[in-house]
Amino acid sequence: MTKTYGFDTLQVHAGARPDPATGARQVPIYQTTAYVFRDAEHAAALFNLQEVGYIYSRLTNPTVAALQERIATLEGGVGAVCCSSGHAAQIMALFPLMAPGRNVVASNRLYGGTITQFSQTIKRFGWSAKFVDMDDLEAVKAAVDDDTRAIFCETIANPGGYVTDLRAIADIADAAQIPLVVDNTTATPYLCRPFEHGASLVVHSTTKYLTGNGTVTGGCVVDSGNFDWTASGKFPSLSEPEPAYHGLKFHETFGALAYTFHGIAIGLRDLGMTMNPQAAHYTLMGIETLSLRMERHVANAQKIANWLENDPRIDFVTYPGLDSSPYKDRAATYCPKGAGALFTFAVKGGYGACVKLVDSLELFSHVANLGDARSLIIHSASTTHRQLTEEQQRKAGAAPEVVRVSIGIEDADDLIADLDQALTKATA
């Protein structure tokens, strides 16, 4: 049997053996653009994808590779490609699957920026998205047509409060012979591993919890290695000869590693959305403590959500860890260690009270980010979900009368005290 390790061990060790050149125990920042070839034959073999090795840092870099292996391992995938941001990872994830005229069926509860990317920007590639309510399985099935090449959803949808029934959606994707792509940013592999629930691909904004300290933007595409790219004929980029590599067929040549090889050899090579080694370093630092931080994030979130729900100044709280949440059972199934640390709440007094609350907080930072060690707050409707119509905002859970919080790892009592004083000012 191959030895298996626990999550806490993997988050520290995976991908990070001592540096072969120096013995350095921490992963060095390989700040280099290019790598020397042994000889002309070595160079040719590398360029033809006949050997794995370093050529040029747009494609591969040792520091970034360590992070890729670590995330792939934590998710239980076969390989991963890191990118310059979470948004880059989404394009990189879809790129091998899509072509002009093809579409992705996407949840209508997604980070607002993703809804914009999918509803506007990808149209310029000739791709399109169909947004559906992932709780309406019949609607999801009906949306999938002959041109659909993926289903896309978030585990715990930003701005929070909603957990996707991954298994039910994965079954629909399976039946249509297309991959389910899950944005696992808000749950992290510590709380949920979508591959265990039938997803084929996972994307991350590593900007968030994986880095965990609000220092660098980054993204990652992880492949489960379980999808058969040849079976349906729907994915010629992976099953058919690739002219740029002398007619090499990725799936035939690389088997379960085909999608990741394609991500490097075509995606990074031609789209160039590469993560830089400095960013990989910060994220490697952060990910070492992922489980410890997530435990505190979810414990704090649960405590604060309970407190808010029992406060008369609050209309409702959407945290899926609360008994009042319609997604409590689903959260227990998919995120048994905790329902994340991202949720919204409505303040009595509506939009005006929300704005005043945000302005009156001292510890909470008013920023457009989530997954920082610090607690964050934002009024989604006027910021992250601003480009959406009010109807889209409501569907996405970002109605004008709610604020979104990303609960940090500070003392929960200090955060509650801060909310308490600010609510007093906001509802005075």
What is the contact mask toward other proteins in residues 159 to 188, using x (rule: CB under 8 A)? ------------------------------
Neighbours of 278 (CB within 10 A): 13
- A 10 A CB-CB count for 227 gives 24
Using CB under 8 A as the criterion, what x/- string covers residues 230-269 for binding other proteins? x--------------xxxx---xxxx-x--xx--x-----
Query: Shortest distance, CB of residue 216 to ligand PLP, whole angstroms?
Result: 9
DSSP state of 325: -
Q: Give the whole-angstrom CA distance, residue 335 versus residue 328.
A: 10
φ/ψ of 262, rounded to 5, equals: -60, -40
Using CB under 8 A, pick the residue from 11, 15, 330, 372 that binds other proteins: 15
Euclidean distance between CA atoms 286 and 111, whole angstroms? 23
The gap between the terminal CA atoms of the chain, to the nearest Å, is: 64
* Nearest to ligand PLP of 154, 418 (CB atom): 154
CB 92 within 8 A of CB 59: no
Q: Is 5 in the site for other proteins (CB under 8 A)?
A: yes
Interface residue with other proteins among 27, 82, 176, 347 (CB under 8 A) is 82
Q: How far apart are CA 186 and CA 343, in angstroms?
A: 11
The yes or no reply on residue 53 touching other proteins (CB under 8 A) is: yes
CA–CA distance, 59 with 41 (Å, rounded to integer): 19
Q: Verify binding: residue 296, ligand PLP, rule CB under 6 A.
A: no
Among 71, 72, 78, 111, binds ligand PLP (CB under 6 A): 111
Please count the residues of this chain forming the interface with other proteins, following the rule CB under 8 A: 50
Residue 29 interface partner, choices other proteins, ligand PLP, none, CB cut-off 5-8 Å depending on type:
none
Q: Which is nearer to ligand PLP, 159 or 198 (CB)?
A: 159
Instruction: Among 9, 31, 120, 121, indicate the residue that binds other proteins (CB under 8 A).
Output: 9
Query: What is the β-pairing status of strands 365-366 and 219-223?
Result: unpaired
Q: Does 136 bind other proteins (CB under 8 A)?
A: no
69 touches other proteins (CB under 8 A): yes
332 contacts 191 by C-beta, under 8 angstroms: no
Residues 405 and 380 sit within 8 Å (Cβ to Cβ): no
Under rule CB under 8 A, residue 68 binds other proteins: yes
Nearer to other proteins, 139 or 248 (CB): 248
Contact residue for ligand PLP among 15, 79, 96, 113 (CB under 6 A): 113
Q: How far is the CB of 105 from ligand PLP (least distance, A)?
A: 17
Number of Cβ within 10 Å of residue 385's Cβ equals 29
| Alpha-carbon gap, residue 16 to 260, rounded angstroms | 19
Point out which span in 107-115, 167-175, 315-323, 354-362 binds ligand PLP (CB under 6 A).
107-115
Q: Six-digit token pair at 413?
A: 């009592």
What's the longest Cα–Cα distance across the chain? 75
Per-position x/- string for 162-201, each x denoting binding to ligand PLP as judged by CB under 6 A, each - no binding: ---------------------x-xx---------------
**Euclidean distance between CA atoms 381 and 391, whole angstroms:** 11
Among 64, 169, 402, 415, binds other proteins (CB under 8 A): 64
Collapsed DSSP state (helix, strand, coil) of residue 281 = helix
CB of 275 to other proteins, least distance (A): 10
* Long-range contacts (CB closer than 8 Å, 24 or more residues apart) made by 12-16: 12/288, 14/69, 14/70, 14/73, 14/74, 15/65, 15/66, 15/67, 15/68, 15/69, 15/70, 15/73, 16/66, 16/70, 16/284
Considering the rule CB under 6 A, would residue 102 count as an interface residue with ligand PLP? no
Residue 238 Cβ vs other proteins, minimum distance, rounded to whole Å: 13
Element (H or E) spanning 215, and its range? none
Q: How many CB atoms lie within 10 A of CB 231?
A: 11
Among other proteins, ligand PLP, none, residue 397 binds (CB under 5-8 Å by kind): none
- Residues lying near ligand PLP in the complex (CB under 6 A) are found at 85-87, 111, 113-114, 154, 158, 183, 185-186, 205, 207, 217, 219, 370
Name the site residues for other proteins (rule: CB under 8 A). Answer: 1-3, 5, 9-10, 13-15, 17-18, 20, 23, 25, 45, 48, 50-54, 60, 62, 64-69, 72-73, 77-82, 230, 245-248, 252-255, 257, 260-261, 264
